């Protein structure tokens, strides 16, 4: 009889399930043959007609779809068909999300295989049902500090959604409950700052996570952000310029002056950079997200702004021999103009989701070269300083937010109309859907005894030292 809970991680003697990512899948469906005139693309196989099938997203071909393989190398049909169905949706998940589904299902089926638990079985004893068995195993990993509670709940969610699909797709009816659904009413502040709420459905498989008390050391904005104070920002810039890596200097400046995430920074295109002679004013607006070639979180469409002097420096760079040599090695993106930031081999640091070359000839570029620069060059240089600190690219966004708050709100009476409008301006520039997220920056600014400087003053400092750097 399989154990419901294991006291420690066990070495498994069986060959594990795994997944591979197929760069391109052509979708077909089988129908019984008839005497009707067949389309040119149809193929007869026995009594069936195999013909191209258009997915809900309107595509005959799907890209970068994971397929789960059993230990003998054959396809695990249920798991693979579930992922294929998600990839075929009208608004399909990203390929990163599809890989997370595959990873979660592989972990699930491998965990059950250790104790020979059938994922389709539903015994009377609750602890022996596959979903409860898996939950118990995840709790053991959590207790052994091998897994975060949030990761465990994400994997449980993947398993629950898989079974929900099984019930719809294969008319699967377990004889015993695999979980019990729980309805909850969650309250939140909407984008106007007013309290609202909605009903959510969870299950009793979810593992309770103690609510973490934010001690004020970080800001919650798509993760934990740790803004650098004025002194740290200046130190970072000095060290960054000492690396003499033009692409990293310009991309870091782009993020620090616009609040752009890594995804938007490294999918920036040459057409987003304006001829300096045509620039009017001190800023250049760049459209990112939906209906653009520049990616953004959740594909949200919005404008970001960079100072005109930085636009001029990037314009100089993309017309330099250094950039032209890199661009000559790069293939042409399928979704628009060339990327501004390319590696020495001509690859984008991040390949856009809309670029049809994504994952076709090379592994998906997802910022590994940037992370390598940080871990092997930038961070070691920071560690040599007397007042060293840990660097993360995403913290540049937090720096921008804090500097912008310092500029917009300084001297304004709290609760005044001008103060409220200024806070709304910061919310807009940061792209926050809810005012409460922007207010977390404000609370950090008020609670921490750290010195930040106005964004415009900091940009003047950046301009002064940047224009002494060679970009051509």
Domain ranges of the chain: 18-169, 181-216, 224-466
State the first-to-last Cα distance of the chain, in angstroms, to the nearest integer: 70
For residue 180, what pLDDT is reported?
Answer: 93
Q: Give the integer Cα–Cα distance in Å for 115 and 362.
A: 38
Q: pTM to 2 decimals? A: 0.79
For residue 6, what pLDDT is reported?
Answer: 40
Burial of 377 (0-12, 13-18, 19+ CB in 10 A): middle
Phi, psi of 150 (to 5 degrees): -65, -40
From first to last of its 472 residues, the chain has per-residue pLDDT tens of 334 434 444 554 456 999 999 888 887 766 666 655 555 555 555 566 666 777 777 777 888 999 999 999 999 999 999 999 999 998 889 999 999 999 999 999 999 999 899 999 999 999 999 999 999 999 999 999 999 998 999 999 999 999 999 998 877 889 999 999 988 776 665 555 556 677 778 899 999 877 655 556 788 887 888 888 888 999 999 999 999 999 999 999 999 999 999 999 999 999 999 999 999 989 999 999 999 999 999 889 999 999 999 999 999 999 999 999 999 999 999 999 999 999 999 999 999 999 999 988 788 899 999 999 999 999 999 999 988 899 999 999 989 988 888 888 887 888 888 888 888 888 888 888 888 888 888 888 777 666 676 777 778 878 887 877 766 5
- For 259: left if phi > 0, alpha if psi spans -120 to 50, otherwise beta; the answer is left
For residue 413, what pLDDT is reported?
Answer: 84
Cβ distance 400 to 256 under 8 Å? Answer: yes
For residue 450, what pLDDT is reported?
Answer: 62
**CATH of span 224-466:** 1.10.443.10
- The CA-atom distances, in angstroms, between 241 and each of 183, 245, 246, 348, 425 are 53, 7, 8, 22, 31
């Amino acid at each position: 009889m399989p154990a419901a809970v294991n006291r420690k991680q066990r070495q498994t003697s069986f060959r594990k399930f795994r997944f591979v990512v197929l760069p391109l899948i052509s979708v077909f469906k089988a129908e019984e043959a008839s005497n009707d005139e067949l389309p040119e693309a149809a193929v007869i196989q026995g009594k069936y007609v195999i013909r191209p099938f258009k997915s809900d997203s309107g595509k005959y071909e799907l890209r970068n779809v994971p397929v789960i393989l059993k230990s003998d190398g054959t396809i695990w049909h249920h798991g693979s068909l579930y992922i294929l169905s998600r990839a075929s949706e009208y608004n399909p998940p990203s390929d990163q999300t599809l890989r997370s589904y595959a990873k979660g299902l592989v972990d699930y089926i491998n965990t059950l295989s250790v104790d020979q638990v059938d994922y389709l079985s539903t015994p009377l004893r609750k602890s022996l049902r596959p979903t409860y068995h898996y939950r118990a195993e995840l709790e053991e990993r959590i207790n052994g500090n091998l897994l975060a509670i949030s990761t465990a709940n994400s994997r449980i969610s993947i398993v629950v959604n898989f079974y929900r699909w099984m019930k719809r797709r294969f008319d699967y009816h377990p004889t015993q409950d695999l979980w019990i659904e729980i309805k909850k009413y969650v309250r939140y502040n909407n984008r106007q700052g007013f309290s609202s709420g909605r009903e959510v459905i969870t299950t009793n498989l979810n593992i309770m996570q103690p609510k973490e008390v934010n001690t004020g050391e970080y800001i919650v904005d798509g993760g934990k952000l740790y803004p650098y104070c004025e002194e740290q920002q200046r130190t970072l810039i000095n060290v960054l310029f000492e690396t003499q890596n033009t692409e990293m200097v310009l991309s870091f400046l782009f993020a620090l002056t616009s609040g752009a995430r890594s995804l938007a920074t490294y999918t920036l295109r040459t057409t987003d950079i304006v001829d300096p002679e045509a620039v009017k004013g001190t800023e250049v607006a760049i459209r990112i997200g939906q209906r653009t070639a520049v990616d953004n979180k959740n594909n949200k469409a919005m404008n970001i702004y960079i100072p005109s002097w930085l636009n001029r420096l990037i314009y100089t760079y993309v017309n330099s021999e250094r950039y032209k040599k890199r661009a000559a090695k790069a293939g042409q993106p399928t979704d628009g103009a060339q990327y501004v930031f390319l590696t020495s081999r001509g690859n984008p640091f991040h390949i856009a989701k809309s670029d049809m070359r994504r994952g076709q000839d090379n592994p998906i570029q997802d910022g590994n070269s940037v992370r390598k620069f940080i871990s092997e060059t930038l961070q070691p240089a920071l560690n040599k300083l007397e007042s060293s600190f840990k660097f993360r690219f995403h913290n540049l966004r937090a720096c921008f937010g804090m500097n912008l708050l310092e500029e917009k709100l300084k001297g304004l009476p709290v609760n005044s109309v001008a103060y409220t409008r200024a806070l709304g301006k910061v919310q807009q520039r940061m792209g926050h859907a809810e005012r409460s997220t922007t207010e977390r920056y404000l609370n950090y600014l008020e609670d921490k005894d750290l010195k930040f400087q106005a964004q415009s003053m900091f940009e003047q400092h950046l301009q002064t030292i940047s224009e002494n750097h060679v970009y051509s």
